[in-house]
Amino acid sequence: MRKIGISILVLLLVFSDLNVFVAGTIADDPTEPEIECEEQLESDDEENIATECKEPETENSEDSTTEVEEQPEIENGEAPTTEGEEQPETENGEAPTTEGEEQPESESGEDLTIEGEPEPETENGENLANACESQTESESEENLATEGKEQLESKGENLAIDCEEEEELYSEENLGIDCEEEFYFEEELVTEEEEQLGSNSEEESVIEGEEPEELDSEENSAPKCKKNSPKSSPFGPFVSDVGPIGEIDLSKLDDDPNELEGFTQMKTNKGVEFPVRDKSGRTEYLYFGNLSNTRSVNSLEDEEAYKDFGDDWSRPLPKMDTTLASLVDGKQYIQAENFTIATALDIGPTESNGIVTYYYENGIASSPEWMGNGLVIAHGNSEDDTAQFLSGHMPILKLFKNEETHELIAYAAVISYQQRYGYIVDGYVKIKMQPVSDIKGRINVSMKYWKLNSTWPVTNFAYSVHMDIGKRHKESRVFSLGNDEGFYFYEKGMRDGTSYALTFFRDGFANPPAKFKGIDTDPNARPFTLFGYHQSPYYDKLNSPGFPEKDIDANTMYDFKTHPGWALRWEPKVQEYGDVIEANLEVAVTDRPDAAPVLQLDNDGEYTNNGYRITGTWKDKDSDTVSLYYMLDSGEPKKVGVYKNENLNTDAPWELIIQSDEWKKGLDHEISVYVTDEQDLESNIETIKLRPELTITEQVFDEGGKEAEEVAPEETLSYSILVKTGYITYDTGKYDQVNITQKYDPHLEQPTDLKVIDEDGNEVGTAIYNESASIIEASLNADADLPRSKEIYVTYKATVKEDAVTEEEIVGQATVSGTYSTKDEFKGTSNEVRTIIAAVLKFDSVPKVIDFGENLVISSRTKKYHPIEIDVPLAVKDTRKSSSPTPKSWRVMAKLKEPLTVKGTDIKLNGLFYHYGREDLYLTEDTSAEIYTRKTTDGKKVNISSTWSDDGDGLYLEVPAGTARADAYEGTITWMLQDVPPNQ
């Protein structure tokens, strides 16, 4: 037998004369006007004259080439040079040939080509070329070059050309052209006397798509054109309307408004040195523009040397008050599309040919003749469309460097020339070059393009290179990394005696190129076919396949041996006007093509009893062993061990435990991990910030203040969630944002008294109950300014629902996330607290007062008195489950603790009974009487006092005649609830 509960009853009885009293107590879309253009171009004999209007017709054995074509290579190795340019000498002293394919010879021995194809031969052996839709009569021996659509018909000596223009030759030296044209793409105008763009010679070249320059000659007159230009065009804003470069807002291209913090804006164009893994003594630079490979290493220190070499190193960058129009008109700008890695060889500082890049010719990538170099942006009507637009030059507007992080950022305009509108800004680009993590010698190039052209909905990127590594040109050889991972060039024995390896990656980073295509003919071509008839040997459409379509084995040479060139393209994307899209490329340079090992982390590590545990994997393609190292903060590397490379290029696990006595508790630390192979090639370095251990502790207490393991329905629980960051007061960091949430258990009524306080009891945040989501949400006040070394508490109270199902659990578990003032993120989950909803047997209520009445009449015979009022019922609640073979039951016992007594005296009144069933139980101080018994059934409350009546069960007072006196009596009853087996 077990006593479940005890209650005490005080009874009061008052008699006045014959009356007795008994009582008890208990505790935009623009218009397009026509253009009227009248041009007159005059040139000296043997000049090449290029227009964007109509094409020349030749009547004799003249050479007629388009600007896309290279100069012919002659069997003896000699080639014609463009006027005004001095050709470098080859090793044998002969002048090198310009790029192009061999041309067929006419009967007279002259070579004639048209754009990208051999020219038809007339009956008399003449070759005729036409790259435009025009009629031109020429009686001189000039070379005439234009660019456009070809229509040739040859019958004997007759040549029929479909034209829309009439051109009249006024003299051998003057060519007059009247034209009305509408061009929606860029055209390039080239004369024999042009030099590469950005050179410092007296002759200035014309950027792709621009109008011919005024010719300084008595025989030549400037073109005279009349244009009615609207205020805007579907191809972008007018260059003339843009204004000063410093006022161009390029922030649309930035990921972060503070991205340029730590950067310096450059006034002259130079490279930024970056670290590589080889120990050859070379210096590597991130660089934009032309850089002559004939330079000496010392010439990089000469601020004026660009004038001698015709390149861009140290060339002044535009001032911020320079207008875009004047920059474009001046043509002395650096082209952002020709980004590169430049290598200064480890040779005598004054020796020539001390620089290595990979653009033809000798690093002068922007020569008008070499169109197959650099970044190109293309537009089309669909992903499956041919290009309807190809970008021209991208003059750098602003250039920023960060020498500490080895980063270089160029902002440039994408300029196009539209015959109807003039110079247009198709958009802007931001090209950012930066090292990849800690892989020495590998960089990531981010190319972000902001579109201001509303004509075509689809955009794609391409990057093509006509290879020329250190003047080796046709000897450059390309090898595969295998599995479409990329390709590399490997040149043995450069001028400093060390090999050179250049790798272009196609996988393993965001926004990688989708396709690669290599060729060994016509590497000067643009990467996309334009309009479907300006044919490119690379990609006919914006989504054309690469070549080879299935990659060859790793370290196998591609069969591009005659004249290597290649182009990468990305996946075409739908791009709305004003949108920004991004493409990325990764490049690496070193002194050998050995592949470095690769290391990965499984996670950020974890605290253990022995210290801090970090795990991950490594793999290496060619070494028998690798060595694992780690560094704590800026300390010396510590070798963990040597691991055998059992399976080449296969992930192998590693584990590192840093003992807890190696770092100071309560502060931030950095752990860097890497592996090296047998050639001492380092893998990428992975870094983990080791922060103090974050602990989140949740507790739940019962009404007595003890941790609640079980609770009864309608009882109240108190919850506490403690967030402890582990930082010590010496740390200077603070909380930035803190969010604490807890899924609210459905067994509980809505919470009350929600608070967010610190360890000193100050309210530092707010907490609410989100009823729709059934969660408690707490956060730190924005102005809390709380050191992260301070503890944070979330507290609240919750009452168990009356109908909560017993033996089920109330579960609580909190999650915390946020950031510190250091911008480091943190998150964690508390322990889980579980409280069982216990089956209970208890008094639900017990009366504190049982009133028998006042002014009771003292009878001359024995008389019964029944209670006339009780303040609360005598009730029991039993929520236990009862089933066979062990059913449950309970009973209530009653006993006098203090008999009815006149207050302040020893005068007692006996005769207190309890009628139960058929028995009248006399209540005494000595024995307990069973006044009620019941089996456990449905868990509902049992109101025992509801059965009390004069004729039924309940308390009554039986007073024999002559035993009562006129006074007030009071006494105390003890109620006992007991869990007993049935029938006991």
Q: For residue 101, what are its two tokens?
A: 């394919």
Given a contact cutoff of 8 angstroms between Cβ atoms, the answer to whether 297 and 358 are in contact is no
Do residues 793 and 763 touch, judged by C-beta distance below 8 A? no
Task: Tell me phi and psi for residue 31, to 5 degrees.
Answer: -85, 165
Rounded Cα distance between 100 and 72, Å, is 6
Contact status, residue 432 vs residue 511, Cβ threshold 8 Å = no
Q: Does residue 841 contact residue 980 with C-beta atoms inside 8 Å? A: no
What is the rounded CA–CA span in Å between residue 941 and residue 528?
86
Cis peptide before 787 (omega within 30 of 0): no
C-alpha–C-alpha distance, residues 339 and 376, integer Å: 12
How many angstroms separate the CA atoms of 327 and 68, rounded? 25
Q: What is the dihedral of CA 860, 861, 864, 867, to 10 degrees?
A: 10
Report the C-alpha gap between 677 and 356 in whole angstroms.
28
| Rounded distance between C-alpha atoms, residue 375 and residue 583, angstroms | 11
Helix (H, G, I), strand (E, B) or coil at 787: strand
CA 414 to CA 425: how far, in whole Å?
6
- Tokens 């029944």 label which residue? 866
Structure tokens at 538: 């690379």
Residue 395, preceding peptide bond in cis (omega within 30° of 0): no
Under 8 Å between Cβ of 341 and 284: yes
Cis peptide before 361 (omega within 30 of 0): yes
User: How do strand 606-607 and strand 565-569 relate by DSSP bridges?
Assistant: unpaired
Confidence (pLDDT) at 39? 36
- In angstroms, the CA 878 to CA 466 distance is 91
Name the DSSP letter for residue 157. T
Q: In what order do the strands lie in the sheet with 919-922?
A: 863-865, 954-959, 912-916, 919-922
Dist. CA 964–CA 853, nearest whole Å: 15
In this structure, what DSSP letter does residue 121 have? Answer: B
What does each C-alpha distance from 905 to 511, 662, 908, 969 come to in angstroms?
Answer: 99, 80, 8, 10
8 Å CB contact between 131 and 55: yes
pLDDT of residue 432: 97
Angle, alpha carbons 778-782-787 (nearest 5°): 90
Name the residue type at position 788.
Answer: R
Strand partners, 722: 697, 793
What are the backbone angles phi and psi of residue 913, rounded to the nearest 5°? -125, 165
* CB contact at 8 A, 124 and 97: no
What was the pLDDT predicted at 679?
61
* β-sheet with 763-770: strand ranges across: 695-701, 716-724, 792-799, 752-758, 763-770, 775-780, 735-743, 814-820, 825-829
Average pLDDT, consecutive stretches of 10 residues, N- to C-terminus, the chain (984 residues): 46 40 33 36 36 37 37 37 40 40 38 35 35 34 34 34 34 33 34 34 35 37 38 84 95 93 96 83 94 95 94 96 93 92 94 93 79 90 95 95 96 91 94 85 95 96 91 81 88 86 91 93 87 88 91 84 88 96 94 80 91 94 88 93 92 94 93 86 90 96 93 93 96 96 96 96 96 96 94 97 88 97 94 92 89 78 87 88 74 91 83 90 90 82 90 89 79 90 65
Token duo for residue 509: 């980073």
In the three-class reduction of DSSP (H, G, I as helix; E, B as strand; rest coil), residue 947 is classed as helix
802: number of Cβ within 10 Å:
10
What is the predicted pLDDT for the residue at 581? 97
β-strand pairing of 573-574 with 422-435: unpaired
Burial code (b: 16+ CB inside 10 Å, e: under 16) for 323-348 equals bbbebbbebbbbbbbbbbbbbbbbbe
Q: Give φ, ψ of 305 to 5 degrees.
A: -65, -20
Distance in angstroms (rounded) separating the CA atoms of residues 832 and 710: 15
Which phi and psi angles does 901 have, rounded to 5°?
A: -140, 145
The H or E element containing residue 306 is helix 305-309
Helix (H/G/I), strand (E/B), else coil: 498: coil
**N residues, the chain:** 984
Tell how far CA 107 is from the center of its chain: 64
Q: What's residue 193's pLDDT?
A: 34
Amino acid letter, residue 253 = L
Tell me whether residue 207 is exposed, middle or buried, using C-beta atoms within 10 angstroms of its C-beta: 0 to 12, 13 to 18, 19 or more.
buried
Residue with tokens 């309210």: 763
DSSP state of 231: S
pTM as predicted: 0.47
SS3 at position 51? coil
Residue 933 exposed, middle or buried by CB count within 10 Å (0-12, 13-18, 19+): middle
Q: Which residue from 461, 466, 293 is spatially nearest to 372, judged by alpha carbons? A: 466
pLDDT at 369: 61
Whose CA is closest to 627, among 638, 616, 614, 636? Answer: 638
The confidence score (pLDDT) of residue 320 equals 96
Task: Map tokens 């070193």 to a residue.
Answer: 590
Give Cβ neighbours of residue 701 (< 8 Å, ≥ 6 apart): 707, 708, 717, 718, 719, 720
Tokens standing for residue 845: 């209520």
Range 414-445 burial, b when 16+ CB lie within 10 A, else e: bbbbbbbbbbbbbbbbbbbbbbbeebbbbbbb
DSSP string of 78-117, one letter each residue? --PPPTT-PPPP-TTSPPPPPSSPPPPB-TTS-B-EETTE
Question: Can you spell out the DSSP letters for 692-745?
Answer: PPPEEEEEEE-TTSSB-SEE-TT-EEEEEEEEE----TT---BEEEEEEEEEPP
Q: Judging by DSSP bridges, how do beta strands 968-980 and 19-25 pair with one another?
A: parallel
